[in-house]
Amino acid sequence: MAADFGPLVSADWLAAHLDEVQVVDVRWYLDGRSGWDAYRAGHIPGAVWLDVDTDLSAPASPAAGRHPLPTEAAFAAALARMGIAEGRQVVAYDDAGGSVAARLWWMLRAIGEPAAVLDGGLAAWTDHAGELSTDVPTPLLTERAPRPWPSDRFLTADELAASSALVFDARSAERYAHGDPAIDPRPGHVPGARSAPWTGNLDEHGRFLAPDVLRARFAGAEDGAIAYCGSGVTACHDLLAMTVAGHTELALYPGSWSQWGADESRPAETGLAP
């Protein structure tokens, strides 16, 4: 099974291997709805739930951004609490095209752990594979040693500013060009960044486009690329798409625009790229 695992798995594949992997529900909503309530109302059988705000992020601040990386120890503790042992294959899903699940996938992949995203998310499961469960599992606590975040996979603002790699902004084109005053600290984007909204990685059914299409979308990323978004979550969707396309030298700027834009000393560009 390991040879054909990730970065995406289909609902049919997951149904056939459900007892061999740990499924993780990471539903989260920018509008304030509760991912935990959504999970309790119905989830893939056996799935546990991790919270983007508290399990996959450190506390938010203007200096660090809305979803800064958690400490290595905090992330290891969250996985251990859910019974996810080292080497356990993880399939993450959400109900938003993988835009949230990709955050967990990237964090696990970066520290060398096997992980995949359910292509098509919860809808793919209910449409093609099976019913949902309201049973909340009681995980068996396991032990996990913290693993350091690789410095070449997670960049600081200064490292981003000094990098010569291609930079992709996963926010909507409107936010890239003008910002959203309800979410973004100021208008614009990191100078030189290309607009690559995460929604453009998906087809009309909410599944990832073919690898050759994604290679064309992220032309130039074969030599290395960095992704960011509003807070370091949906940027991971672009990283997943580039991985599907076959690119490997990739990095996340976790602080993203919520950190960069909050620092008035850092430059910003507005408008759409030519």
Cα separation, 18 vs 72, in Å, equals: 28
Q: Which of 122, 229, 235, 242 is catalytic?
A: 229
Across 235-250, b (16+ Cβ under 10 Å) vs e yields bbbbbbbbbbbebeeb
Whether residue 166 contacts residue 220, with contact meaning beta carbons closer than 8 Å, is answered with yes
Neighbours of 233 (CB within 10 A): 29
- Does the annotation mark 236 as catalytic? no
DSSP state of 109: H
Instruction: Report whether the peptide linkage leading into residue 7 is cis, meaning its omega lies within 30 degrees of zero.
Output: yes
Element (H, E) at 41: helix 35-41
Q: Is 204 exposed, middle or buried (0-12, 13-18, 19+ CB in 10 A)?
A: exposed
> What are the CA-CA distances from residue 273 to residues 173, 219, 261 (Å)?
10, 15, 18
Which positions are annotated as active-site residues?
229
